[in-house]
Structure 1
Amino acid sequence: MAVIHNTELKPSKLELLAVWLPSRAWYRGTDEPELAKAGGFRLDDPEGEVGMEFMVVTDSSGDEPVTYLVPLTYRGAPLDGAEDALVGTMEHGVLGRRWAYDGYQDPVLVAQLLALIEGRAEAQHQNQSDTPDREVTRAYSGAGFDPAVLTAIDDEDGTELRGPQGTAVRLNRVLRSTSDLPEGATGHLSGAWTAPDGTATHGLFAVTR
């Protein structure tokens, strides 16, 4: 169970993301993002070591607001071989220094994301300890994925975790309010967030094939 600490982070998560986001292929704003938290959820690490959060943030720096899905992992020590995935470091008021990583390149998050899609894990509330997030829904009808053989590849719309023989988990970094599945989809992960106008909206976070 992930324990939510009400404490200060220096720098904040949004401050870290404001520096990191412009380096991503799928980012569509300016070099100076104007970010606001719009939603998200958490996953539990079975070993209780790695924090995992799927953050939804809206950037208002461009011609029109764009909402992004940004999964992050929080670790108490650097992850070996993952220098390219490092988003930044923070000082946590309770846990001390934390290393924040792009979650799609962290094997712990990838394994738990697959478990969530396949129905073997449960999404947790972003801001409350020991509270499931019922707004996160999933469905899956394919064979089980092996997280050890998936490779994360960024493009202009998101990140794809590619496996052998054409299997993949397509992660929508740029979120849209639609539940329409592409042809050939074997499963999906959906969730809710707050739109720039303040209304509640819902859409696809990930699709499998």
Structure 2
Amino acid sequence: MAVIHRTTLTPTKLELLATWLPAQPWYRSTGQQPELDRTGGFRLDDPKGEVGIEFMVVTDISGAQPATYQVLFSYRDAPLAGADDALIGTTEHGVLGHRWVYDGAHDPVVVAQLFALLAGEAEPQMQSTSDTPDPSVTARLDASGITAELASFTTAHSPDGTEILVTTASGRRGLALHLNRVLQPGQNAGSQALGHVTAPAPLPDGTPAPTEFVVVHAHP
């Protein structure tokens, strides 16, 4: 299980995101410097205990209306080969030292654990408490014969969010994992979805509401 350290990060996660977020195709520009608040999220454990995995909810209040985003963090103690374009930044952790922070949608450990969550083989954890399951996060995958083992994946970004195309080791079946980067509390993908990950995100008044973070569809 991941251990949550009560310590400092320099720069902080929000400081890293203030530079990184506006460069993303799904960011809703306000014409102002982002003003970010952390408003939710959860974690997953890396079975090997090497990579930190966090699904963070951040709300930008710099515009006329707040916009809430999902950021999938990967924390590593060394650079991830071939992932320079996915680097959010580096930071100094008060206990663990220098950390490389990536967009987890490009990290094979993170994608594998996300798929394990969908397949019912990983348990969501509280964002800020060690070794504590988070019952507010739910996941399902309505696909028979699917195991959590992945053969390969590719990631692409667009103004609509992030699409992770995965090929499973069982039957080589292809699935599309769509990450809703701009979160819409109460959003429902409808009956065409094969699965989803749902977790709380804030309504405009700050009240948490069930929100689809990930939606799964079949992919040829």
Cα shift at 1:162: 1.7
Cα shift at 1:18: 0.5
Change over 3 Å in CA distance of 1:148–1:32 after alignment to 2 = farther
Cα shift at 1:179: 4.5
Q: Distance in 2 between matches of 1:146 and 1:170?
A: 18
Change over 3 Å in CA distance of 1:26–1:123 after alignment to 2 = same
Q: Distance in 2 between matches of 1:137 and 1:207?
A: 12
Which residue does 1:106 correspond to in 2? 107
Matched, 1:95 2:96: yes
Cα shift at 1:110: 0.1
Aligned AA (1:202): P
Which residue does 2:65 correspond to in 1? 64
Cα shift at 1:9: 0.4
Which residue does 1:46 correspond to in 2? 47
Aligned AA (1:96): G
Q: Distance in 1 between matches of 2:206 and 2:176?
A: 33
Alignment of 1:8-157 (within 5 A): 8-30=8-30, 32-142=33-143, 143-144=146-147, 147-157=150-160
Which residue does 1:177 correspond to in 2? 185
Matched, 1:189 2:192: no
Which residue does 2:211 correspond to in 1? 203
Percent identity, aligned pairs only, is 55
CA deviation digits over 1:47-70, x for unaligned, max 9? Answer: 001111000000112231110000
CA deviation digits over 1:64-92, x for unaligned, max 9? Answer: 11100001010011111110010000000
SS of match in other structure, 1:36: strand
Aligned AA (2:100): W
Total equivalences in the alignment:
209
Q: Distance in 2 between matches of 1:23 and 1:144?
A: 35
Q: CA RMSD in A?
A: 1.6
Stretches of structure 2 lacking an aligned partner (at least 5 in a row): 168-172
Contact 1:28 1:62 in 2 (8 A): no
Q: Distance in 1 between matches of 2:204 and 2:137?
A: 20
